[in-house]
Amino acid sequence: MKIKSIRHFITGILCVVLSLICLGVLIVNGFSIRYLISAILLIIFSLISFVYSFSVKGLEEEINESVDERDSFVTMKSGHKTLQIANWLFFSIVMILILLYGFTKFFVFLISAMTLCAVIVILLILMIIMNCYYEKHE
């Protein structure tokens, strides 16, 4: 059998692992109804995911069948504009947090500003990586 949807296959594997962890905790800690129910639900969900992974077409195949150049251009342009707006929003919040730290000297504002700066840097790195990837593969 050929795996048609890798996302569903990975979800099924993850659910099997989580159900085995629930059963292991159930064996080690003694009987608990919540671990038993969790394990049963995870096994059912993993079976459904495995069925979908072998029978349903992958997301990329479905998109390739129904997308033309205009749709992909609009999607690319809207994604770029969304990323731009998110960057400007994060940058504005960082500046506000730095000003608040300057006025109040509460360390929480500085930590929040540093966290958002890290998010901005991660977004920049991801954008560069994805740009290089799609230049080579598209």
For the stretch 36-68, pLDDT in tens is 999 999 999 999 998 888 876 666 666 666 767
Do 8 and 50 form a contact (C-beta atoms < 8 A)?
yes
For the stretch 62-89, pLDDT in tens is 666 676 777 777 878 898 899 899 999 9
Of 30, 62, 94, at which residue does a domain stop? 62
State pTM to two decimals: 0.52
Do 81 and 74 form a contact (C-beta atoms < 8 A)?
no
Burial of 33 (0-12, 13-18, 19+ CB in 10 A): exposed
* Per-residue confidence (pLDDT) for residue 89, from 0 to 100: 94
Query: Does residue 35 sit in the same domain as residue 94?
Result: no
Place of tokens 């671990």: 35
Amino acid making up residue 113: A
Looking at the chain, the number of H-run helices and the number of E-run strands are 5, 0
Query: Does residue 81 sit in the same domain as residue 119?
Result: yes
For residue 106, the enclosing domain spans 67-137
Query: Does residue 87 sit in the same domain as residue 54?
Result: no
Residue 1 lies in a domain: no
Count of structural domains within the chain:
2
Longest dimension (CA), the chain: 64
